[in-house]
Amino acid sequence: MIRAKNLIYLLFLSFMISSSLFAQIIDGNPENGKILFGANCTACHYSGPEEMRKIGPGLHSHLLEKYTEDWLIKWIRNAPALTASGDPIALEASQYDPSQMQSFTYLSDTDIKDILSYVEQDPIDFEKSTGSSDNVVAGADQSYTDSSNKELDLNTIVTIIVILCGALVFLIFVNNALRKGLNIEEGFLKGIKRLLFMGTTIKILIVVFHIGILYLLVMGWQSLSKIGIRQNYQPDQPIEFSHKIHAGMNNIDCNYCHQSARHGKHAGIPSVNVCMNCHETIYEGTNSGTAEIQKIYDAVCWDPDLRQYITDTDECQPKAIEWIQIHSLPDLSYFNHSQHVVAGGLECQECHGEIEEMDVVYQKEKLTMGWCIECHRNTEINLDNAYYHLYDDLLEKHDVENLKVEHIGGLECAKCHY
């Protein structure tokens, strides 16, 4: 009996070891991969272990243990399409973050293999990976990445200790059982009893084992509760559109482009036609020359030399610009812009920061439930709005001088949750 058990254990152990040795090796040019990775992927990924989360998980040699090369090529080329096609592996991978990985249809198979060969071989150098957070706002994000890599070290150590304790307990158990000629038929409970009366060493090991497991559970819970918070998220956009140039230097009103913020739930992103109102005539920028503005023309099929739209669909087909969404609440919550901007009389900047000073927009606030509630507790409602008379009764009822949002129901679950 016991021999059979040992045998199974050994088989299991050798399977674990061999499966990690048999990971695929990608045939590609890591030098080129490094450049491509820097240009396309660093906005959302570190090169490092999975736990080194940016927007997506860290990318390293574990990818090739988890996925096949063919699948990775398909995913990296067009993750949204692969997910939409119902591919079960893609569906699972896409659960990682509410935001989606964009497509890279312009990368060839060779390009992608080069990238994979780079991330696979890149030695994990925390200094380098965290230092190169060029897309992240300086300062604020730094502490986050730093603490996460300290956690990582400690987690790895604890995991190793837990595994070692577990293995030792198991081995001592087997050893004792062998020595005392444990008769398996005597039952599980007796086995446990016997185990408990075995020397202090094993008791200490068991205690350490449980503390370790508890610690890992707590860490797991903590990292789960961080999911979905994207403070400081600042992706590169398909066109280098600068709010500093438009809303700042040229003083264009936010509502010119985000009209629906006043009228509805969403502020919305302007369509390319709105850009054309001005860029039919402004075809050169101070910083980027014609290169970035040309992308607007490509999207609407405008020929800047002839100054007319290209109507031949073989030559050009109009397409939307795929702006990457930055602010996003989970589906379970309800947020309405016009309620805050019109009824509440709040400025955009109170929730989005000084957008007119940003060349590239980033998410200034956490956008968590706690953030909403805190403002509702502290902010007086705007008595200048058209619904003012509705609040008269409330003023009397609460007997306070200044009504806060909480007094009109701003803390009720159902107001913010469907």
Rule CB under 6 A: which of 114-173 touch ligand HEC?
A: 115
Instruction: Rule CB under 6 A: say whether 327 interacts with ligand HEC.
Output: yes
What six digits make up the tokens of 246? 């438009």
Instruction: Rule CB under 6 A: say whether 82 interacts with ligand HEC.
Output: no
Nearer to ligand HEC, 165 or 403 (CB): 403
Nearer to ligand HEC, 1 or 35 (CB): 35
* Contact between residue 324 and residue 222 where contact means Cβ atoms under 8 Å apart: no
78, 99, 133, 234: residue in contact with ligand HEC (rule CB under 6 A): 99
- State which amino acid sits at residue 201: T
Instruction: Rule CB under 6 A: say whether 222 interacts with ligand HEC.
Output: no
**All residues at 6 or more sequence positions from 325 whose CB lies less than 8 Å from its CB, including other chains:** 99
Nearer to ligand HEC, 203 or 366 (CB): 366
Instruction: Rule CB under 6 A: say whether 300 interacts with ligand HEC.
Output: no
Instruction: Rule CB under 6 A: say whether 417 interacts with ligand HEC.
Output: yes
85, 132, 328, 402: residue in contact with ligand HEC (rule CB under 6 A): 328
Instruction: Rule CB under 6 A: say whether 415 interacts with ligand HEC.
Output: yes
Q: Give residue 356's Cα distance to chain centre.
A: 25
* Contact between residue 247 and residue 254 where contact means Cβ atoms under 8 Å apart: yes
Residues in 226-245 at the binding interface with ligand HEC, rule: CB under 6 A: 228, 235, 237, 239-243, 245
Nearer to ligand HEC, 114 or 202 (CB): 114
Residues in 349-378 at the binding interface with ligand HEC, rule: CB under 6 A: 350-352, 355-356, 361, 367-369, 371-373, 375-376
Using a 10 angstrom Cβ sphere, with 0-12 exposed, 13-18 middle and 19 or more buried, the burial of residue 114 is buried
Nearer to ligand HEC, 231 or 288 (CB): 288
* Contact between residue 82 and residue 105 where contact means Cβ atoms under 8 Å apart: no
136, 165, 177, 341: residue in contact with ligand HEC (rule CB under 6 A): 341
What six digits make up the tokens of 266? 């969403």
102, 142, 176, 223: residue in contact with ligand HEC (rule CB under 6 A): 102
Instruction: Rule CB under 6 A: say whether 381 interacts with ligand HEC.
Output: yes
Positive or negative CA dihedral for 312, 316, 319, 323? negative
End-to-end CA distance of the chain: 58
33, 34, 44, 49: residue in contact with ligand HEC (rule CB under 6 A): 44
In whole angstroms, how close is the CB of 182 to ligand HEC at the nearest point? Answer: 43
**All residues at 6 or more sequence positions from 38 whose CB lies less than 8 Å from its CB, including other chains:** none
In whole angstroms, how close is the CB of 311 to ligand HEC at the nearest point? Answer: 22
Instruction: Rule CB under 6 A: say whether 293 interacts with ligand HEC.
Output: yes
Instruction: Rule CB under 6 A: say whether 247 interacts with ligand HEC.
Output: yes
23, 216, 301, 411: residue in contact with ligand HEC (rule CB under 6 A): 411
Query: What is the spatial distance between Cα 249 and Cα 241, in angstroms, rounded to a whole number?
Result: 13
Residue 253 Cα distances to 68, 244, 267, 354, 356, angstroms? 50, 12, 13, 13, 10
- Nearest Cα residue to 62 out of 122, 112, 15, 102: 122
